[in-house]
Amino acid sequence: MRIVRRIALVVIVSVLLIVGSVRICSQQLKRTAERVVHVSYELSIRDHAPTLGDLRQQFGTELKQADPCTASGCKYEVTLSNRAFARLHLYPYAAISSSFWVKDDAVQENVVELWTANHEGRMIGAYVDAKYCKECSGFDVDPCDGPIASFASGSVRIGSASRIEEKRAAFALNPSCLTSFRGCASIADLGPALWRGSASGAVQCTAAEQR
């Protein structure tokens, strides 16, 4: 009887440790993903283009150079995913990355991408393309015409001269998709400031509300 109780106690303690570890790691992953998006947004609202030194100061060793530099510049990126959790079937697979194109030590472009697998097993994504130049402006959301299929992917393009409200909406991605048991079903979940889900399951663009 004592042996059974001891085994039961070991099992309970083991389960609690596993649950606690999953929760801690999930919270850390979510905080890191939130920081990647926030830093990208903060860089976009500066009055000058960020430099490679700024990127290294913000991201440290998380910033990687995936490929060798070319005559047109160098690409640096920060990438996170919940692959380990997805393999354990705890969360649907999701990943987020922020990549920077740098030339002559100045950032020319920043692309932030958020991808996930929805409940149908389809990969859906939303990405922000921020251009850095004095003449770069605009707020172009795609798709943004009529009802949108729930499995569509979406994008938004902005620039240095875009309004701060537009930049805020563009970078309002949802890092919680990496640590959601139910996952994110549509671009309305990935970019809730740009698209809204409807009762019919379709998605509606809300970009006009940001203008």
Pair of tokens at residue 30: 């979510």
Res. 15 pLDDT band, cuts 50 70 90: very low
pLDDT digits (tens, 9 = 90+) for 61-104: 999 998 899 989 999 999 999 999 999 888 999 999 999 999 99
Per residue in 126-154, pLDDT tens? 999 999 998 899 999 998 887 777 667 89
DSSP state of 168: H
Give the sign of the dihedral formed by CA 145, CA 140, CA 72, CA 64: negative
Tokens standing for residue 73: 């510049």
CB atoms under 10 Å from CB of 14, counted, come to 10
- The C-alpha atoms of residue 201 and residue 122 are separated, in whole angstroms, by 15
CA distance 184 to 40: 22
Q: At what angle do helices 2-44 and 52-59 cross, to 10 degrees?
A: 160
Q: Alpha carbon of 63 to those of 60, 103, 158, 178, 180: distances in Å?
A: 6, 16, 23, 20, 25
pTM of the model: 0.86
